[in-house]
Amino acid sequence: MSLAIFDLDNTLIAGDSDYLWGRFLVEPGVVDGAFYERENQRFYDEYRAGTLDIHEFLRFSLAPLARLPRRRLLALREQFMREKVAPLWLPAARRLVESHRRAGRFPLVITATNRFVTEPIVREYGIEVLLATEPAVDEHGEFTGEVAGVPCFQEGKVTRLLAWLEENGRGLEGSWFYSDSHNDLPLLERVSNPVAVDPDPELEARARARGWPVISLRRGETPVESSG
């Protein structure tokens, strides 16, 4: 069974959950508003430019998880899903995932955003396997503010996916990968069927030069071949 691999932010949803979670934390006063807004925007701009220091960003983005008990974080996440994520659902993305299932492919999401933020979003799409950046936890199950293992970003996505493939006895033959970001070029270049989805300018230019499909799930487009 071949894989249908999906990036999450700005691919399956019409926004960036990592960036939006940071902005959301300002509202209830979990983080310092002016500082956090400024740094959150800086890191997001660096991500889009391809210059992000992922470890510096993770020290910033995972720190709030260590400041609150898990129960409070879960309540905030439920509110975040209702207020910030719900408007980002893309019907075409749901149809695309289902078309791959009908074609006998196994859906999987791979994202740089941490598991705490992304797990309920991916669950809404009925996708069971999520490869995400993993926040470290202590012996009591509380977040430490550190990252566990390899961040799921740029070449790290390839590293994490190859490890999962080996553990599960799978390969990349006949695989698809959908992404919006040039940061995902290392993985896009590994799969059988790379697809640029509502891409940033650099990815769009690379995709068109290489003859990869360029689609817009925001406009309801899906590649015809995905159902075949």
- The pLDDT, as a whole number, for residue 20 is 95
Q: Among candidates 22, 80, 26, 16, which has minimal Cα distance to 47? A: 16
Q: Above 70 in pLDDT, residue 224?
A: no
Average pLDDT score, the chain? 95
Mean pLDDT of 58-75: 93
Of 87, 108, 124, the one marking the end of a domain is 87
Instruction: Give residue 21's domain range.
Output: 17-87
* CA pair distance 209, 1, nearest whole angstrom: 30
The CATH code of the domain that includes 39 is 1.20.1440.100
Q: What are phi and psi of 88, to 5 degrees?
A: -100, -5
Kindly state whether residues 148 and 184 are assigned to the same domain. yes
Q: Above 80 in pLDDT, residue 197?
A: yes
Kindly state whether residues 74 and 125 are assigned to the same domain. no
- The pLDDT, as a whole number, for residue 226 is 64
Kindly state whether residues 73 and 150 are assigned to the same domain. no
Kindly state whether residues 79 and 115 are assigned to the same domain. no
- The pLDDT, as a whole number, for residue 30 is 87
| Tens-place pLDDT, residues 84-139 | 999 999 999 999 999 999 999 999 999 999 999 999 999 999 999 999 999 999 99
* CA pair distance 154, 54, nearest whole angstrom: 9
What is the DSSP-derived secondary structure letter of residue 183? G
Number of domain units in the chain = 2
Kindly state whether residues 56 and 24 are assigned to the same domain. yes
Kindly state whether residues 186 and 120 are assigned to the same domain. yes
Of 53, 87, 121, the one marking the end of a domain is 87
- Among 7, 180, 198, 200, the one annotated catalytic: 7
Whether 7 is a known active-site residue: answer: yes
Whether 9 is a known active-site residue: answer: yes
- Among 9, 16, 18, 180, the one annotated catalytic: 9
Kindly state whether residues 83 and 102 are assigned to the same domain. no
**CA 13 and chain centroid, separation:** 9
Q: Above 90 in pLDDT, residue 177?
A: yes
Kindly state whether residues 139 and 207 are assigned to the same domain. yes
Are the C-beta atoms of residues 53 and 129 closer than 8 Å to each other? Answer: no
Question: Which stretch of 59-73, 169-183, 196-210 has the lowest confidence by average pLDDT?
Answer: 59-73
Amino acid at 109: V
Mean pLDDT of 69-93: 96
